């Protein structure tokens, strides 16, 4: 790790692990908050747009009986 002593490396590892846990907890909290009421905030965003119908076929294919 490039630290002068094994003790310094262990202190760094411990601090890094603690910081990583804080970040993970914060992200987890944001995800839980976002999942609480998805219907209210994004109901309009989930609606599918209406499909445009294809125009009636022209030419020979349009003249054929079904």
CA distance linking residue 25 with residue 28, whole number of Å? 5
Structure tokens at 51: 């499909």
User: Phi-psi bin for 53: left (phi > 0), alpha (psi -120 to 50), beta?
Assistant: beta
Mean pLDDT by 10 residues, the chain (66 residues): 80 87 94 77 62 72 59
CA distance linking residue 17 with residue 12, whole number of Å? 9
pLDDT score of 66: 56
Query: Tokens 């630290």 sit at which residue?
Result: 3
The pTM of this model reads 0.41
């Amino acid at each position: 790790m490039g630290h002068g002593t094994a003790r310094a490396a262990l202190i760094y590892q411990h601090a890094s692990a603690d910081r990583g846990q804080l970040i993970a907890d914060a992200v987890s909290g944001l995800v839980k908050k976002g999942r609480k009421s998805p219907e209210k905030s994004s109901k309009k965003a989930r609606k599918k747009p209406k499909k445009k119908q294809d125009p009636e076929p022209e030419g020979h294919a349009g003249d054929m009986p079904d």
